[in-house]
Amino acid sequence: MGGRGAPSRRRQAGRRLRYLPTGSFPFLLLLLLLCIQLGGGQKKKENLLAEKVEQLMEWSSRRSIFRMNGDKFRKFIKAPPRNYSMIVMFTALQPQRQCSVCRQANEEYQILANSWRYSSAFCNKLFFSMVDYDEGTDVFQQLNMNSAPTFMHFPPKGRPKRADTFDLQRIGFAAEQLAKWIADRTDIHIRVFRPPNYSGTIALALLVSLVGGLLYLRRNNLEFIYNKTGWAMVSLSYIHGSSQAQFVAESHIILVLNAAITMGMVLLNEAATSKGDVGKRRIICLVGLGLVVFFFSFLLSIFRSKYHGYPYSDLDFE
């Protein structure tokens, strides 16, 4: 039974092979080669993407923002494959360009990139780069870009849309605003950490040290501080005691006081509307508030001395 069954199965297989179309073998061979080629191409893309990400991570380990010329821009930003977002600042930082706004925007951009690099959420899905006009003129021409600074987001897939260009003219270039824009485009949230600003503290310490040093040198002759007659003579020398008359010097003093109050209001408005460093804005606000309170109180004090019985005052200078 076993010997007769084997030749029978071979005869059935031979009949099935004779029933196949004549051109089936070249087609199957072509299909097999195509599958092998597609698999090899996919593997090649994966290797190329891994090399690009590895190179970008190496650059990011050295600096938070890496500079790009035309070749690097086309390789790492324009050419696929790419599974990461790239934020690019197009700028002109060379001294001969005299772009002060570019330098200010670069400072905010550096703060933002450093905040991302040293954050616990740092990953290989977002990178920060820069294209300077003098290093990548061809890139500016390729993008038809004729102004700087400009911030653009290049998504992992597809071309940048209109919203991928940051509206610098309307929003400003503060690091916090840039972080909010990046979160809208990439769903990656960056908490901005600004370096501490000790300029105001240092200036106050120097002023206190100067005044303290002068008082220490005059420590044996400080009667002038408690001499009320001397302070009264200074006041009477320039401020007329009646509301019916006014000295020429008094007019100048009132002018200076009003100018100081105006300056304080300007500083308060600048602190409220500017988009710069938060630390600087806080110092500007405190200085402006101090000018307004101190000099307006001084002005009210002069007014009370001329109009006896005036009930209002801020800081009592009398």
pLDDT for 122 equals 92
pTM of the model: 0.57
pLDDT averaged over every residue in the chain: 79
138-162 pLDDT, tens digit each: 999 999 988 899 999 999 988 899 9
Between 207 and 112, the higher pLDDT residue: 112
Chain CA centroid to CA 45, Å: 34
- Please check the confidence at residue 49 and state whether its pLDDT lies above 80: yes
Pairwise CA distance, residues 51 & 39, whole Å: 19
Confidence of residue 200 (pLDDT cuts 50, 70, 90): low
Please report, in angstroms and rounded to a whole number, the separation of the first and last CA atoms in the chain: 131
Mean pLDDT of 202-214: 77
Task: Give me the residue spans of the domains in the chain.
Answer: 45-186, 227-306
- Please check the confidence at residue 264 and state whether its pLDDT lies above 60: yes
Half-sphere exposure of 248 (CA within 13 A, CB side): 0
Mean pLDDT of 216-236: 61
Judge contact between 230 and 223, C-beta under 8 A: no
Tokens 């073998």, residue?
A: 25
pLDDT for 125 equals 93
- Please check the confidence at residue 175 and state whether its pLDDT lies above 60: yes
Mean pLDDT of 53-80: 91
126-132, strands of its sheet edge to edge: 65-67, 126-132, 85-91, 150-154
Is it true that domain 45-186 has CATH number 3.40.30.10? yes
pLDDT for 257 equals 83
269-312 pLDDT, tens digit each: 888 877 666 777 888 888 888 888 888 877 777 776 666 555 55
- Please check the confidence at residue 3 and state whether its pLDDT lies above 60: no
SS3 assignment, position 64 = coil
pLDDT for 170 equals 87
